[in-house]
Structure 1
Amino acid sequence: MAGARPLKLYSYPRCSTCRKAIAWLAARQLQPEILDITEQPPSSAELEQALAQLGRQRLFNTSGQSYRALGAAAVQALDDQAALAALAADGKLIKRPFLMTDAGRILTGFKQPEWVALLEAQAPG
């Protein structure tokens, strides 16, 4: 896996799951571009791509304060474009870590088996 293509990781410095993901990547000699999701959230295009790949449920950080402030019912009532606009406007609404490969594959959250499968598929063979 050490030869995998470049990765982009949106994370939040105070998020323990993000720190675990970064350590896991480092242990595999992978050095993603790390961006603070609150200061530089994924672009609208990246969020649209994530929506297409993962669906809305995997995009929202449902345990975060921003999500609770909006309310689950209000979020569910948003159409896709409004949901994407809300996510682009507030990085804390986005489930993190948010991993993107240069091939355009995206994962949210840190579930090690999913990351292994994605990164092995990325590795040049």
Structure 2
Amino acid sequence: MEFYGYTRCSTCRKALAWLRERGLEPRQHDITVTPPSAERISGVLAASGGKRTGLLNISGMSYRALGADAVKAMTDDQLIAALLADGRLLRRPFLVLDDGRVLTGFRPDQWQAALEGVQPADS
């Protein structure tokens, strides 16, 4: 399991603590230094039917600096390039499960459902 977060993000810290309370210890990546791969981001975009809201941190300064209109005008390839260039544009935390599923943002009920059957690290 791969966890992409940002140390200054309180939601990321809550999500990581939540995972650890369940005995799960994901490999951690600073999303601003090492964002998920272009292939992973493209896969999430495709799985969402092209809806971008699940990928974007629309409350962040990076998004506001670009502007909603500029983001809407981007092609998918341009959006992916922008997300790779600035990990703060990505909605976080960004959790990649070992089976390839991806969870963005921290919603405990959805994470709980998605993690059913995932064994703790010491099992």
Q: 2:83 aligns to what?
A: 87
Question: Identity, % of aligned pairs?
Answer: 53
Paired residues for 1:3-22 under 5 Å:
7-22=1-16
One-letter amino acid of the counterpart of residue 112, structure 1: P
Q: Flag the 1:96–1:75 CA change in 2: closer, same or farther, 3 A.
A: same
CA distance in 2, matches of 1:36, 1:53: 24
Paired residues for 1:46-85 under 5 Å:
46-54=40-48, 55-85=51-81
Q: Tell whether the 8 Å contact from 1:53 to 1:106 is kept in structure 2 after alignment.
A: no
Q: Which stretches in structure 1 are left out of the alignment for 5+ residues?
A: 1-6
CA distance in 2, matches of 1:78, 1:45: 18
CA distance in 2, matches of 1:49, 1:115: 19
CA distance in 2, matches of 1:122, 1:13: 25
Choose which of 41, 49, 52 in structure 1 pairs with 2:35.
41
State the aligned residue count. Answer: 117
One-letter amino acid of the counterpart of residue 80, structure 1: D
| Offset at residue 52 of structure 1 (A) | 1.8
What is the TM-score with the length of structure 1 in the denominator? Answer: 0.89
User: What CA deviation, in whole Å up to 9, does each residue of 1:102-125 have, x standing for no partner?
Assistant: 2110011000111011111555xx
Q: 2:21 aligns to what?
A: 27
State the superposition RMSD in angstroms: 1.1
CA distance in 2, matches of 1:118, 1:17: 18
CA distance in 2, matches of 1:17, 1:53: 24
Q: Which stretches in structure 2 are left out of the alignment for 5+ residues?
A: none
What is the TM-score with the length of structure 2 in the denominator? Answer: 0.91
CA distance in 2, matches of 1:44, 1:121: 28
